[in-house]
Structure 1
Amino acid sequence: MAAQNKTRPFGMRDYFGYAMGDFGCNMSFALITNYLMLFYTQYVGLELKDWAWIIIVGKVWDAINDPLIGGMVDNVSIGKGSKFMPWITIGGSSLIIFTTLSFMPIASMSYIFKVIYCLAIYCIWSVAYTTANVPYGALHSCITNDPSKRTNLSTFRSIGAGLAQVLTMLLPLIVYDKDHNLIGSRMVYVALVCSAIGFVGFMLVRLLVTERVAAEAHDKTDKMSYLKAIKGFFTNRPLLAITAVSFAQVICFMSMSTVNVIIFQSYFHNTKILAAANIVPYLPLVVLMPFIGKITKKIGKKKLVVIASSISLVAGIISCFIPMDPTATSSLIIYMGVLMLLYTSNAVFTIILWAMVVDCIDYQYEKTGSRDEGSLYALFSFFRKLAQGLGSALSAGLLAVCGYVESLGANQTAQTALNIKNMYLIVMTVGVALTVVVTQFVYNINKDRGTVAPIDIEPDPAPENFE
């Protein structure tokens, strides 16, 4: 008991510290997601077809290294006192280097050099990102064992990610010229500043977060095999459901974010308002965050996702039939309103996703007696990375089908711009339809789970409690 009393009670410090981890991840990830395609196609000069295969190969490698690094986190101890913190530090410091190198101004180099450099630096960046993100995600289940507090941790994780997104959303004010084209030469400095700020977030995780649920130690004479982890993953029905929904959300929302930039470049011809327009879809997330704990406690996470996604589905279907004149201010307002409603599904899912993943890890523990946080989280992340690759390639392919010509930048034809706008709305609508169906009929944790007995839990008096 004396040892237990030395553990700091769970409180707001943990919430804020954990939020800073996803802030650190997203200061790099949001920049890569929103600007790397534009940088390499509009500034460096890669053809869209080459970008498509590069991003597929890069994301396949990104997905493969997730379970490899997850297994390393589970089985290799590189520091004292924490299973996860040393890995987070290594990954966070590496992101400063490789995020900056991802935006080197190589437009004057030969075409083959550009292709090789783009593929190589993206693959290296993905290893750095995974080294930070996988242990950070697995850390969630070791901070507290209280289900409501885990939901709140997921909410604060979304707040951290959202803060990084807001900061990167302001970049259009400085990275586009008066003709709405990307100023590629500035991006290396932007990348350096953003990744350095993100590293501060990782350090705050180490400083502020306390691990109270002891991570499972695997016997060195009986290393957990990847086959065992994979079998556990594919027999975990709720985790498979969440993986499928996340797969759809990543493809239809996250991977399409660059398409929205192109819409403001070539359809509305207004990149200055893009900073404000990028914030509008996240308003549902901001509004719901303070109440998410009470809502999920009352109706459960599953029902909340289904209700929010049904609202988005109705809005998406209607939006496909609304005419929008790109020269009319009213059309711009309608478009941003539609985005806000469509993103309601994505906002709710984003807020509680990681709490649902932790529920699935607890489900695994009940079934097998083994938590395997690092490996299960890594396998989940594996499929998210595959979705990012497929989604990026799909967006490039659909842009080509719509008639997009990368060398024209913001000067696409009116018909091409209209095609791109319609395609974007249809893809998001399909994404929320899949979210409703899979969550309702496959995910089988209907209400918040009670406390699942973990391995060696410290008491959690938690005088502070975010509701």
Structure 2
Amino acid sequence: MASESKSALRPFGMKDKLGYMFGDFGNDFTFILSSLFLMKFYTDVMGVSAGVVGIVMMAARIVDAFTDITMGQIVDRCKPTKDGKFRPWLKRMCGPVAIASFLIFQSGLAGMPYGFKVAWLAVTYILWGSIFYTSINIPYGSMASAVSPESKDRAELSTWRTIGSSLASLVIGVGTPMIAYVTVDGKTMLSGSRMTIIAGVFSVCAILCYLLCFKMVQERVQLTTKSEKLDLGKLVKSIATNRSLMGIIAAALMLLLSQLTMSGMSSYVYPNYYGSAAAQSLSSLVGMAGTLLICAPTAVKLSQKFGKKELATAGAIVGAVSYLLCFLLRPSNPFVFVAFAAVATISMGYFNTVVWAMITDVIDDTEVRTGVREDGTVYSVYSFARKLGQAISSGLIGALLTMVGYSEATAFDPAVTGKIFNLACLAPFAGFVALALILVFLYPLNKTRVEQNVATLAARREGKEN
């Protein structure tokens, strides 16, 4: 690379994988906290209606349409420093993203006027997700292409990224309900003051994880720095005609819509329908432990044998079947519901484990077809799709909860909680079915084509070096 001599570069190894793991650990200290508890915090603690929260979160994605693509263009055009092309952004932006996340969960403002609370949510949420999170997540995700040119290494980075996400899910999904919920008059309720403290602790942890990623990961591949002027029309046309990119965008949108609706509804189905915060913690524990112990050790081997697309499709089908059975059987025991949810989480864990390697496959496919490599741009478009999925799921949860009549006053009404159970099963079921159809009919990068692209690019680069 321009910033480091080749002799100074150590071989790709465990230090890189652990460092990349810490990067997503840092991301998810704020991302998963928002996904799991922001809606619950603002409906139950701040007294804002679920519909309004959903609208605010969806509106923020309009901002993302500009900030994500802009950040992708910045990354593609920025010149490498002594620390590399992508790594410096981790150090620059870790503080702002952590502070913004903490500001979202300020229970001390619960007594303020309704309009002020909605405005506070909108401003802090946009600062966190649309600006600061974007400015660290897009360089972090794009960095995988610069860490190693080898497909197997990138698949391992994707696996370790998923391990980081799973560890964060364990800490947040298991630990937070055990601390944040209190029993008041026999009802399981979220404590606002505890959530504020938890958000502060997680923000500090996010900063530490980002800095570990910065220190441990090394960039080895010198990627082309774009210099031509941005042509927005050409960019939009390039995205719209890129079938592999459109396929992974649609898949990401449906994956996030399914999973975040599933996890978002867990904050209502466990404490309100089943009256068990412990079951919510156990659900996160079992699902994430299964991802770590089953998916992570086997995903690379299975994807090499069958293909990433094929593995992800199978996971989506199993997840859909699990939630359909749960809806039909309607278990009265919360721990039986936990078992069904765990099967779906683990089966989808395979997609989550290889999806980041699928992004590099899309980047490779784009380079094969066009001769231009745009890591930052492709990743920023994918990142926007993920955040759009997050926002739509929040908006969907808010709309559905409003539709069934959920409010502070009806939170434990059996007629309302029964409908919440239905939503908790049928929403992810529909999402997983749609995801499987997208992967089969829209996303074109099967095992054979990925291998052909890798061989084509290797031959091109070898020809340039000779």
TM superposition score normalised by structure 1:
0.91
Structure 2 partner of 1:62: 64
Offset at 1:455? Answer: 9.4
Corresponding residue SS for 1:45 = coil
CA contact (8 A) 1:95 1:128 kept: yes
The residue correspondences of 1:88-237 to structure 2 (distance < 5 A) are 88-104=90-106, 105-126=108-129, 127-169=131-173, 170-178=175-183, 179-219=187-227, 222-237=228-243
How far apart are residue 395 of structure 1 and its match?
0.8
Q: Is the 8 A contact 2:283 2:342 kept in 1?
A: no
Aligned to 2:54: 52
From 256, 259, 278, the equivalent of 1:250 is 256
- Distance change >3 Å, CA 103–CA 52, structure 1 → 2: same
Helix, strand or coil for the counterpart of 1:171? helix
Superposed counterparts of 1:413-424, under 5 Å: 413-424=413-424
Higher relative contact order (CA 8 A, sep 6+): 1
Counterpart of 1:346? 348
After superposition, the C-alpha distances for 1:118-176 in whole angstroms (9 at most, x for unaligned) are 11111111111111101000001111111111111100000011111111121111111
Output the CA distance in 2 between the equivalents of 1:171 and 1:63: 31
Q: Which 10-residue stretch deviates more, 342-351 or 428-437?
A: 342-351
Secondary structure class of the residue paired with 1:267 = helix
From 265, 275, 278, the equivalent of 1:272 is 278
CA gap of 1:395–1:272, structure 2 versus 1, over 3 A, is same
Partner of 1:261: 267
- Where structure 1 has 5 or more consecutive residues not aligned to the other structure, the ranges are 326-330, 458-467
Q: Is the contact between residue 405 and residue 416 of structure 2 (CA under 8 Å) also seen in structure 1?
A: yes
What is the alpha-carbon distance in structure 2 between the residues aligned to residue 131 and residue 378 of structure 1? 10
Aligned-partner Cα distance in 1 for 2:5–2:93: 31
Tell me, in whole angstroms, the C-alpha distance in 1 between the residues paired with 2:267 and 2:459: 45
What SS class does the counterpart of residue 274 from structure 2 fall into?
Answer: coil
Letter of the aligned partner of 1:141 in structure 2? S
1:276-287 aligned within 5 A: 276-286=282-292, 287=294
Work out the CA distance in 1 between the residues paired with 2:57 and 2:143: 29
Figure out how many residues of one structure are paired with residues of the other and give that number: 448
- CA separation of 1:35 and 1:438: change in aligned 2, threshold 3 A: same
> Partners in 1 of 2:384 and 2:300 — Cα distance?
28
Name the CA distance, whole Å, in 2 between partners of 1:78 and 1:103.
36
> 2:264, 2:397 → 1: CA distance?
8
Q: Identity of paired residues, percent?
A: 29
SS at match of 1:321: helix
Identify the match of residue 290 of structure 1 among 297, 314, 318. Answer: 297
| Equivalent position SS for 1:46 | coil
Structure 2 matches for 1:439-458, cutoff 5 A? 439-447=439-447, 448-449=450-451, 450-451=454-455, 452-453=457-458
Q: 1:339 Cα deviation (Å)?
A: 0.6
Unaligned runs of 5+ in 2: none
Residue 386 of structure 2 corresponds to which residue in structure 1?
Answer: 384
Q: Quote the Cα distance in structure 1 between the aligned partners of 2:441 and 2:277.
A: 41
Aligned-residue offset at 1:25: 0.4
AA matched with 1:164? A
1:316 counterpart = 2:323? yes
**2: CA distance, partners of 1:194 / 1:436:** 34
Task: Look up the equivalent residue of 2:357 and give its one-letter code.
Answer: A
| Offset from partner CA, 1:393-425 (integer Å, 9 cap, x none) | 1111111222212x137x421121111111111
Q: Which runs of 4+ in 1 moved over 6 A?
A: 454-457
What do the CA deviations read for 1:76-107 (whole angstroms, capped 9, x no partner)?
34844411122222221112211111112201
Deviation for aligned residue 1:198: 1.0
| TM-superposed deviation, 1:428 | 0.8
Q: For 1:177, what is the secondary structure of its paired residue? A: strand
Q: CA RMSD in A?
A: 2.0
How far does residue 64 in structure 1 lie from its aligned partner after superposition? Answer: 2.8
Q: Would the alpha carbon gap of residues 203 and 165 (structure 1) be closer, same or farther in structure 2, given more than 3 Å must change?
A: same
Shift of 1:24: 0.5
Aligned partners of 1:213, 1:111: CA distance in 2, in Å?
A: 51
Q: Does 1:408 align with 2:389?
A: no
Aligned partner of residue 24 in structure 1, secondary structure: helix
Name the CA distance, whole Å, in 2 between partners of 1:197 and 1:35.
18
2:362 corresponds in structure 1 to 360
Q: Which residue of 2 aligns with 1:426?
A: 426
Q: Which amino acid aligns with 1:317?
A: L
The answer on whether the counterparts of 2:261 and 2:428 sit within 8 Å (CA) in structure 1 is: no
What letter matches 2:41 in structure 1? F
Per-residue CA distance 1:358-394 (angstroms, 9 max, x = gap): 0000001111111111111101111222222111111
Contact 1:229 1:375 in 2 (8 A): no
1:282 maps to a residue whose letter is M
For 1:462, the equivalent position in structure 2 comes to: none
| CA-CA distance at 1:3 after TM superposition | 4.2
1:353 is displaced (CA, Å) by 0.4
- Code of the residue aligned with 1:175 in structure 2: it is A
Q: How far off is 1:245 after superposition? A: 1.2
Distance 1:227-1:90 versus aligned 2 partners, 3 A rule? farther
Describe the shift of the 1:96–1:137 C-alpha distance in structure 2 as closer, same or farther (beyond 3 A).
same
Distance 1:64 1:43 in 2: 32
